[in-house]
Structure 1
Amino acid sequence: MDALIEKFYKAFNELDSETMVSCYHDDIIFEDPAFGVLKGEHAGNMWRMLCTSQQGKEFRVTFSNINSDNRKGNAKWEAFYNFSKTGRKVHNIISATFEFKDGKIIKHTDQFNLHRWAKQAMGFKGLLLGGTGFFRKKLNQQTNHLLSKFEKNL
């Protein structure tokens, strides 16, 4: 399944959300600190939204340490971009775990240091609030609101 994970991240680096989504099982469960838990079509639409938002901008993804068998896998990946709300440069370092079913990704969990991300993306405000449960809850609400708006326009 290493090739599937590699295909996913190569597509992300090229902002090719349709190829990314094709790596997902219809019953995908995605989870990360920014969005919380997304299931099915919502997970795919999140990647569509993120790829669309980065078109024509400085954006890059690297990946390494892919390790998988037919049931589970993991990888490290890094995203380099400018946060849209502040224009601040972000270098996010993520650990991903995967579960597979029918040759596709059925569960994808990304973990990263939300406090570190918030400090980079939002500066002093992120430094103060980024490590709190309040911040995570508020961020989840905002990202899911943006996703809902994006989905209405599909």
Structure 2
Amino acid sequence: MTPQEKEQLIAEFYTAFQNQEAEKMVACYADNVVFNDPVFKNLKGEEAKDMWRMLLSNAKDLSVTFSEVEANENLGSAKWEAIYSFSKTGNTVHNKIKAVFEFENGKISRHTDDFDLWKWSGMALGMSGKLLGWTPIIQGKIRETARKSLEKYRAAKS
């Protein structure tokens, strides 16, 4: 893939995200894709794809923007922002994310998102997140809850 084709694929992924078209998003992923972010660790293949399906199926007022899409011979990157109401509290979250991509056979093979989980927990969870969101206990609980939600979604799907 040329760098331009990689940039086009990244833009296609985020345009589908903006339009809440999960199947178009996951079509950009290789079958063996690996996804990581501060909440979801080491999701592979269908598990990574189902994370996006789950997140979009729960999205009520999601707004996504993306910018600074770049690629070279080896990697791609983008910045993106999501604004939404966190389902468990109703609090508004404005998350700013830096994404890095690797590619294989014309698809995204590795997708790593990076954001400040403490900042996110403050927005999503309110005062408890602001005060304790930096602690390994709270961050672990966030990851555990997200993992259980994904497992429940996947079980209901099959």
1:101-129 Cα shifts (integer Å, max 9, x gaps): 00100000000011111111111100112
- Whether the aligned pair in 2 keeps the contact of 1:21 and 1:44 (CA below 8 Å) is yes
**1:76 is aligned to 2:79:** yes
Distance in 1 (CA, whole Å) between partners of 2:106 and 2:150 is 27
Name the structure 2 match of 1:64. 67
Q: Is the 8 A contact 1:71 1:101 kept in 2?
A: no
Give the TM-score normalised by the residue count of structure 2: 0.93
Q: 2:144 is paired with a residue of what secondary structure?
A: helix
Q: RMSD in angstroms over aligned alpha carbons?
A: 0.9
Indicate which of 76, 99, 104 corresponds to 1:101. 104
Q: In percent, how many aligned pairs have the same letter?
A: 46
Instruction: Quote the Cα distance in structure 2 between the aligned partners of 1:101 and 1:95.
Output: 20
Q: Is the 8 A contact 1:29 1:39 kept in 2?
A: yes
Q: Is the 8 A contact 1:98 1:108 kept in 2?
A: yes
1:35: how far off?
A: 1.4
Other-structure match for 1:121? 124
Query: Which of 138, 141, 155 is the matching residue for 1:138?
Result: 141
* SS at 1:36 equivalent: coil
Cα distance between partner residues in 2 of 1:37 and 1:125: 27
1:70 positional shift: 4.2
Match of 1:34 among 25, 39, 49: 39
Helix, strand or coil at the partner of 1:49: helix
Deviation by residue 1:85-143 (Cα, 9 ceiling, x = unmatched): 11011100000000000010000000001111111111110011211222221111111
**1:74-94 deviation digits (Å, cap 9, x = unpaired):** 100000000001101110000
The one-character-per-residue Cα deviations of 1:15-69 (angstroms, maximum 9, x if unpaired) are 1110010000011000001112211110000000001001xx2111000000013
**Which of 137, 150, 155 lines up with 1:152 in the alignment?**
155
Give aligned pairs, total: 152
